[in-house]
Amino acid sequence: MWQADIAVEAAAVAVAAAVNLDRLAEDLMIFSSAGFGFVKLADRHARASKIMPHKRNPYALSFVRAVANRLIGSQAGIAAAARTPSGQMDNRLFTYEAVPDVVRSASESACLVAECVGGLRINEARACAALDDRSTCASDLAERLMLATGIDYRAAHGVVGRLVGALEASGRSLAEATATDVSNGLRAAGMPTDGVTDGLVAAALDPASCIAVRADVGGAAPEEVTAMASALTNAVTHHRHRIEAARTQREAALRRLHADAEAFAEGGQ
């Protein structure tokens, strides 16, 4: 009751979770749109557009985003309620309602997102086709040029940008770039070309290779994603056991309290 930080921190954790769920929801909304078509929501998570008969609106994902918006506002209210002189809790009255609501809403939002993800249909062929021009690998090519030639990333970034422009002007895509193209671009910028090989360019423009090298903590490499998922699963299991133990202790304490109250009442009679 006296510590305002508990309410503020609880709300902050819930809001952080809600914002991450919001980000995933927005990604899925974009990837499920007609312009991308990488994924399709299950019918139970969408509803027909009121205007366009053919359009499916991602209603469940929109709801998740709306929850995040509301919880951000609730967090601000909880923090504002903590601005009191020491020992004065009267204006925290609504905090006792807001904190459980924020935690419950974030939890329910997580369950809804899990339900949406579980019902997704993934169009792998269309997603892979979007990688055909290898434009998503441009940053990786710049990084590998930086490592191979010793130039700074800003310079490598400029070389790759001009390379893409030149390729497009000739009706080609980055997927068709060769070591000769890259070397010519470096040479035109007065940069060294040592270390630029067909193998380096091929690896830099291979999406699987680009993902595999993201092996830092929290990176996108499959092994790192698997390790992170395993660590989170273990953490959830640990906290679930703690919650269950605390709930068991609380229920036992309530039973003792009721028994003591009944004994007291009977003794008074």
124 and 11 in a common domain: yes
pLDDT, position 82:
86
- Enclosing H/E stretch for 10: helix 4-31
**3 state DSSP class of 185:** helix
Domain count, the chain: 3
pLDDT band for 91, please (50, 70, 90 cuts). confident
Q: What is the pLDDT at residue 96?
A: 87
pLDDT band at 2 (very low <50, low <70, confident <90, very high): low
Q: What average pLDDT does range 101-122 have in this prediction?
A: 97
Q: Are strands 56-57 and 47-48 parallel, antiparallel or unpaired?
A: antiparallel
DSSP 47: E
Q: Which of 149, 175, 199 is the last residue of a domain?
A: 199
Domain co-membership, 123 together with 158: no
Compute the mean pLDDT over every residue in the chain, rounded to the nearest whole number: 93
pLDDT tens for each residue of 13-34: 999 999 999 999 999 999 999 8
Residue 24 in domain: yes
Rounded to whole angstroms, the Cα distance separating 266 from 197 reads 91
Decide which of 166 and 2 is more confident: 166
Which pLDDT belongs to residue 131? 94
Q: Which of 159-173, 191-205, 255-269 has the lowest mean pLDDT?
A: 255-269
In degrees and rounded to multiples of 5, residue 121 shows phi and psi of -110, 120
Give which of 201, 204, 220 is closest to 212, Cα–Cα. 220
Same domain assignment for residues 13 and 68: yes
**In this predicted structure, which of 42-56, 61-75, 161-175 has the lowest mean pLDDT?**
42-56
Which residue, 143, 169, 199, sits at the end of a domain?
A: 199
For residue 206, tell me if it sits in a domain. Answer: no
Reported pTM: 0.82
**Across residues 203-222, what is the average pLDDT?**
94
Domain span at residue 21 reads 4-129
Percent of the chain with pLDDT over 90: 85
Residues 43 and 90 in one domain: yes
> Is it the case that residue 194 has pLDDT exceeding 60?
yes
pLDDT score of 90 more than 90: no
Q: Do residues 185 and 163 touch, judged by C-beta distance below 8 A?
A: yes
Convert the pLDDT of each residue in 123-160 to its tens digit: 999 999 999 999 999 999 999 999 999 999 999 999 99
Q: Are residues 96 and 193 in the same domain?
A: no
Query: Are 51 and 98 contained in the same domain?
Result: yes
Tell me which residue has tokens 């130039």: 151
Residue with the larger pLDDT of the pair 15 and 95 = 15
Q: What is the CATH number of the domain that holds 41?
A: 1.20.200.10
Give the model's pLDDT for residue 40.
Answer: 96
DSSP at 220: S
